[in-house]
Structure 1
């Protein structure tokens, strides 16, 4: 097992992904690493039986609607809890605030015995729908990309089944995993982890509770003064904000940040001028300065949402996130951290 240490969100990644050589269901005819990277999702039906069984095969995907046992598995990190991002888990630190020598001290009690183990099981006697999809990707594709491409590629097939036969067919997800498949559709599961971090690795931060009370009272009282329409916009934008924060899929993450921006500033219009005007007001420059920043974002949004492409760059996501954050800061808090203002101004192209 390899251990990865990389920076991110003030937590280092202790374990990112186990190597693909750690797999299950392999045999002499299907050794690990010799198949095609693939995505698999299985649903249990809700007391819905199909007979005779349905098996449909195309070169790049297979649909089975049948009855039998379903094998599933994964990696267990017993003490980890979900982080804000869906693909990130954290091993928590335990500690108490203690009174020592007439002062309060935080006493950390870290457990450095990190335990990881693989698991697998057969879920027996199910009526199920299994979809295996083989994307046109290289063998070195990342776990995240396999999940992203797999989910997007079978979304229309799942919608077709749901609309045609009702929600009882794809009633309960049994497993979703990535691995490799072969010409006979044998499935080798890759045992991998989410990103795993240990809380003890993060830098320590202390907040003065008395100052927090004053700040929150002021901000919550200010919130009560919002008009009904503005409050609805901020609530909707905040929902998109949380969805963007948790979303691992790059296309959806970009989309959620864009929707945060639109909910806040593009009221009753599809024109990007209000966004440019607001950024100019906050940064002290001209609305025209933001044409080359905001305009391309709307172009990417249109291409993605109209289904013309799934390509979105890290820079586009970063730009959308920074703009969404400064706009939400300004509306919700009426204040903007200096480092965020610097990040926004850095988006402007050099003259």
Structure 2
């Protein structure tokens, strides 16, 4: 798809003609001479989108957002989504999606979204890897309508729901809540970690292929075996005090009946998985805790390690959120108490949430404190799947 400021081009040509100066077309219009195919618009149907909601590709909110963008495109007389064939040897689906706002990734009012069936990955320049966005959702809508078989890993009977691995991870809406609560209730770290798990280890001693240990669904009655592991990333990193382990592979499994998702979250391997791309070793987690308790920030800790190890560590915010994720999953002992409000945990991590405490009436703080604490911890765990921290109300 090509979109140029044609009116400006006409004005420049008119001015050049009146002045007796030569003129030429812009590079985008000249490139059309080499085009051999024409991309046609597919009119996306709302019924197809409703089917995707029923199959839990995404929820009603994202459906409404897709329909709203479709109306915006129609009002602008622009195609919402067009599949573009580049003639690659490797099967890659590419979609040109309408974007009304001009950004650095959409200077011409469109965004190019790609999907690789081999790697089960969607890519959009407006979103981080493995993170869904409106452009990806619209592209999935287009692909589900025109080539539904792509979403089926194997032939399915009428009693077996279709397997759409490409759209399963990270989960959304109620599926995300289920996964977060499962991790919160079943993947807690003990308050006192075994010494063998936090002692220094050589980088070669860590496992680099991270599969969830679950093989049978914990929700469905009986022995319902999970599907084979599906890759999330092959470029995850394990962050340690001795350096960084690159090209780590992370995976998830899914229940074929209830669609429950399971990911790697096994602290017994001396690892703490944050977002399937950043994994901290437990020694690093405890080292950050002790530094914070001594008023040394995460940024200062990483600055020191970078200077010592000559290795570039991830962004400071990423490591901080990964550490908060670790604390939210740690079962702290109640080592001290308040004469007014009872026992309190030895480690309290509150940043964006600290203002929320003062919104409680004084008489309600004692009653709501445990519920409030659970909500904060659930939200920190959810941060491993979504960028925004605005899920607080969803778990309260």
**Normalized against structure 1, the TM-score is what?**
0.25
**Normalized against structure 2, the TM-score is what?**
0.23
- The structure with higher relative contact order (CA 8 Å, sep 6+) is 1
